[in-house]
Amino acid sequence: MLSAGRRAPGLRREELAQLAGLSVEYVLRLEQGRATNPSAQVVGALARALQLSRTERDQLYRGAGLLPPQDGTVNTHVSPGIQRLAARLGDVPIGVFTADWTLVWWNPMWSALLGDASEVPVTERNLARVLFSDGAAMRLVWPERREDAFAASIVADLKEAVSRYPADVRLNRLVRDLRETSDAFAHNWDTATATPHVTERKTIRHPEVGDILLDCDVLIVPGADLRVVTYTAAAGTTDAGKLELLRVTGGRSAFDGVQT
């Protein structure tokens, strides 16, 4: 469906850049053929933004001179159906993560609540890097940052992911880097055991609306090995009102925040 004044279907360059978490200038360079070697992460982000099918996604990878993701590697494809479903829940902050806890899709409410992940390099949008490193990923805002139990559960998830995707180069590099640079990660790697994710209550300290007490749920997408993370508040509460205010105002594009 075309918006008012639009003469052709499809996404505008600015919309594609926003959905893919890329700069408009970089998308323009791709269009003009001046960016000739896009990374697999960038191509994957474009495929998700364009809501391509798996076959169309593979064609895009080949067109960029890259091999499509192979069986035995972490799935980074968010199907159009999952994107449409999440998009319909526009009043709920939603982020979609891969099996190695890389953020690959998020809605405007996620950005309003937790900060805009598009301001972080594609390769750094990983929750384990947020929890256990001090690089660019730390500019993301995660309420789980100071929870030792949650951090341990993320490491346990990575251990399971390694057993399922032993050929995944990016996953193995992530684990190797963190084991070499973080004593806490190395300790958790040696001791963590698999634990199911359950509903947890999180207090987000937002610079515009103050503390918000929310229920955090992790939903697994069958067959895709994706994690859909949602934040909700009980209807009629002050916290629900604060979420609604963020929906209306859009929050801030990026900010510093901590969990209480």
Give me the domains of the chain, ranges plus CATH numbers.
Answer: 13-63 (no CATH), 80-249 (3.30.450.180)
> According to the model, what pLDDT value does residue 1 have?
33
- DSSP sequence for the chain: -PPTT--SSS--HHHHHHHHT--HHHHHHHHTT------HHHHHHHHHHTT--HHHHHHHHHHTT-PPPPTTS------HHHHHHHHH-TTS-EEEE-TT-BEEEE-HHHHHHH--GGGS-GGG-BHHHHHH--SGGGGS--GGGG-HHHHHHHHHHHHHHHHH-TT-HHHHHHHHHHHHH-HHHHHHHHH--------EEEEEEETTTEEEEEEEEEEEETTTTEEEEEEE--TTSHHHHHHHHHHHH---SS----B-
> According to the model, what pLDDT value does residue 8 have?
43
* Axis-axis angle for helices 54-63, 40-49 (nearest 10): 140
> According to the model, what pLDDT value does residue 260 have?
34
Listed as ranges, residues in the chain with pLDDT below 70 are 1-10, 54, 69-71, 135-147, 196, 252-260
> According to the model, what pLDDT value does residue 252 have?
55
> According to the model, what pLDDT value does residue 136 have?
59
Give tens-digit pLDDT for 137-174: 555 554 444 557 778 888 999 998 998 888 888 899 99
> According to the model, what pLDDT value does residue 85 have?
86
- Asked if residues 45 and 142 have their Cβ atoms less than 8 Å apart, the reply is no
> According to the model, what pLDDT value does residue 71 have?
62
- The answer for residues whose C-beta is within 8 angstroms of residue 240's C-beta and 6 or more apart is 233, 234
